[in-house]
Structure 1
């Protein structure tokens, strides 16, 4: 009997010791968070060092892009972990109609479930980022073989605000196309690179940055830009006269290497394929050997006219967009010191309807920076959620994604919901043109009250090609809306 009891106590003791050991060895959420922070610092050091080097190897660039994606995902997981208290608070506020005891039980269950998921996400981000750092060990060794780039010591928010975020790989692919030399004696071919992507995704920005590269400028004697609606005979007749000269090298007339780079920005769809064929044949006949063409469009119809694989631009992944948007919004301030505002910013970043680009990030970030207040951010989040829901119900998504992207859109003002703004036209103006004095943010929030139709400045880019994004607006009161409702629906105006 004594031996039996002793065996039982021995088994219980062993299990207890194993239980406590497993508890002690199992990492807590805070432990994983701390380790992830340290690994993030190591990854950021590698990325910053690589950005200061003139890297041309595509495999290395691809590795850096993958490492950057892992960094963005890790930051997103960390920020989600920091904001989970405010997420739970919002969930409780939405369920105020339930009984107090039931609400507490549901809250406890959500916290437990969310805590387990958070730990899993943190551990997953840590494992993925640690593995990525091991994979780039050889890359770190080779970095010193590449020349340094001159860069001023900007803070991160200034650096991101003045650079083309998230397009390093795409830029290098375009540069490689432009610098590629056909084998001597091969059939002479005028190479064409199509660049396709939705409106405001950054096609013009990408090309402008590439054309500022010193290697590209040294290779081409002239860089010409041509904006065209579609290829018609009338437009082709004035093609050379309407080209905008962006760069010119002083070369000798006897220099047979006076290459041309022609950038065609196709605004509409490619309807007249015969006209394109004539343009290509004429360009091939008269352009010096080594000249090249880049065609940008939001329509896939240009892909078949490329002599090389088309480059397709997409909007930023959600995690990368959040990293960019957060940095622009908080600037030199530490988001960890403002957890409630960080949570609101994360929710605001989710209202883009998939159009996660530089334009939306800059417009909203500047609006938030100018009104650094929880009450205003909460009001803006509610407004953007209503606006997004109405766009989905009316258009099935963002109106800029439709073929008729400039159709009028009507939505309420934030300050006075009884009044609406009719957004009638959206366009990009070159930097040298005169821009409106009125800002769209001021009209939206109610600080200015113009009458009739007027132009407003949505955002002025600080990076090439330095476009100013201008909207044509009109404010309508309740009476005007009632009178115009039938006529607006006939004209295609959608009430949002």
Structure 2
């Protein structure tokens, strides 16, 4: 069947899509065809369920009775859609040879991986001690003119460590003791005053929010909550540089006590300039610090001096990460389970380093390509969640199962889902 042939080359196609436009287009067409097939299945299931319910009211208990209720138009419509989908899949299968895609069969290799947590480890912060101390000093100091509110912007490119710096300072004991209350909210690209206000109130947890609360009611509650309090608020990943919208939002915070602070993390210099007050610009890590960070994660359970070949290649890979902590940690975390130098060299020689970034770091694309096909599908599915969404493991696993993304193999499907989740988290 066409699907078996397509599935056999899926892993190879996903690995090549970043460097081969034809393969990328082929994958897009395959996804569209699979979506069409799934929609067709849902349409048939819906019609069968509808007829079953109607049949119960009409005392039609036999399957043959239900079949008689299906119209010729429905059968003809389904037949045409099915034939079109099968024809598309056959065409895609015929292109496999022209694209040079190779079949891959066999069991899924389980790599030994060290699990990580979402907590920030202070010992894992490299080359940022000066920035940490500077930011803490700014938060603990009060404006000489008695200004109630100060905004500190942390500016830098994606992956340079803005959010990590903010988290370390946010959780610092001196900072905790200095402020009456704290709140953290990830703003992201889609600016929404209602969502921001509600999110901050939920962080502060001082009011019982009602479903029917409108924006004005929420803003009144937030002002009341902050009134007379010395607060620290972090607005993470801000993209919106519309001054009027920012000014409206800032007016919610003027009720606080003297010394209240807002930390804003952003990639955009225009956002930092709009905030006016104070700014910290994060530079990329030096080559020496980059290697120290990479080495900590890639050689977590071994001495790099005992693996000179891996160390030599590792230093070259670390240099390609251009001082970005996110890139360094991502690739190092991926490579720590690979003990063969050839696997490291494949990463070093990859064409992905030379591709336009398009807001996706090459290191992240390399890490994604290293995932087996079944984990790629599960990871991609998580794109339905908004950024910084705190989902539960059981929730995600159930959604994967419901959407047919878990391979059952020889174990309970829930156990397979748990294994998928743990491996993705470890990366």
TM-score of the pair, normalised by structure 1: 0.45
Tell me the SS of whatever aligns to 1:399: coil
Residue of structure 1 aligned with 2:282, choices 293, 308, 313: 313
Q: Is the 8 A contact 1:192 1:305 kept in 2?
A: no
Distance 1:238 1:164, change over 3 A: same
Q: CA RMSD in A?
A: 4.3
Matched with 1:259 is: 230
C-alpha change, 1:181 and 1:416, in structure 2 (3 Å) is closer
Match of 1:346 among 315, 318, 321: 315
* Distance in structure 2 (CA, Å) of the matches to 1:380 and 1:259: 49
Specify every segment of 5 or more residues in structure 1 that has no aligned partner in the other structure, as ranges.
1-158, 438-446, 450-454, 462-468, 470-496
- Which residue matches 1:213? 172
Q: Does 1:181 align with 2:128?
A: no
Establish whether residue 295 from structure 1 lines up as the match of residue 264 from structure 2. Answer: yes
Alignment of 1:57-72 (within 5 A): none
> Residue 196 of structure 1 is aligned with which of 121, 140, 155?
155
Q: Is the 8 A contact 1:231 1:275 kept in 2?
A: no
Q: 1:426-437 maps to which residues of 2 (within 5 A)? A: 429=388, 433-434=392-393
**Deviation at residue 269 of structure 1 after TM alignment:** 3.2
| Distance in 2 (alpha carbons) for counterparts of 1:380 and 1:306 | 41
- What CA distance in whole angstroms lies between the structure 1 residues aligned with 2:275 and 2:368? 44
Question: Residue 337 of structure 2: which of 370, 373, 385 is its match?
Answer: 370
Deviations along 1:313-351, whole A, 9 cap, x unmatched?
A: 132122211121123212242222221121121222233
Alpha carbons of structure 1 residues 379 and 166: separation in structure 2 relative to 1, 3 Å: same
Cα distance change of structure 1 residues 331 and 287 upon mapping to structure 2, 3 Å threshold: same
Give the structure 2 partner of residue 466 of structure 1.
Answer: none
- Label 1:266 to 1:176 Cα distance change in 2 as closer, same or farther (>3 A): same
1:363 deviates by: 2.4
Provide the residue aligned with 1:240 in structure 2: 197
Note closer, same or farther for the CA distance 1:381–1:196 as it changes in structure 2 (3 Å cut).
same
The alignment partner of 1:200 has SS state of coil
CA deviation profile, 1:451-484 (whole Å, cap 9, x unmatched): xxxx9889648xxxxxxx8xxxxxxxxxxxxxxx
Deviation at 1:209, TM superposition (A): 0.9
Shift of 1:311: 0.7
Cα distance in 1 for residues equivalent to 2:288 and 2:408: 35
In 1, Cα distance between equivalents of 2:289 and 2:247: 40
8 Å CA contact 1:230–1:267 kept in 2: the answer is yes
The question of whether the paired residues in 1 share the 8 Å contact of 2:299 and 2:336 is answered with yes
- Residue by residue over 1:37-71, the C-alpha shift from the partner in whole angstroms, topping out at 9 and shown as x without a partner, is xxxxxxxxxxxxxxxxxxxxxxxxxxxxxxxxxxx
Deviation at 1:278, TM superposition (A): 2.2
Which position in structure 2 is the counterpart of 1:494? none
Q: Map of 1:28-43 to 2, 5 A cutoff?
A: none
User: 1:378 Cα deviation (Å)?
Assistant: 2.7
- Give matches, 1:318-467, under 5 Å: 318-352=287-321, 354=322, 356-382=323-349, 385-389=350-354, 391=355, 395=356, 398-400=357-359, 429=388, 433-434=392-393, 460=425
Cα 1:237–1:425 change in 2 (3 A) is closer
CA separation of 1:401 and 1:332: change in aligned 2, threshold 3 A: closer
Structure 1 residues 198 and 342, CA gap change in structure 2 (3 angstroms): same
CA positional deviation for 1:298: 0.9
**Which structure dedicates a bigger proportion of its chain to strand?**
1
Residue of structure 1 equivalent to 2:72:
none
**What is residue 274 of structure 1 aligned with on the other side?**
244
Does the CA contact (< 8 Å) of 2:148 and 2:260 recur in 1? no
Instruction: Report 1 or 2 for greater relative contact order, CA contacts < 8 Å, sequence distance ≥ 6.
Output: 2
- The structure with more radius of gyration: 1
Going from structure 1 to structure 2, the CA distance change for 1:175 and 1:458 (only over 3 Å counts) comes to farther
Contact 1:225-1:243 at 8 Å conserved across structures: yes
Secondary structure, in 3 states, of the residue corresponding to 2:265? Answer: strand
Quickly say closer, same or farther: Cα 1:370–1:282, change in 2 above 3 A.
closer
User: With structure 2 as the length reference, what TM-score do the two structures score?
Assistant: 0.51
Q: Assess, with a 3 A threshold, how the Cα gap between structure 1 residues 237 and 350 changes in structure 2: closer, same or farther.
A: closer
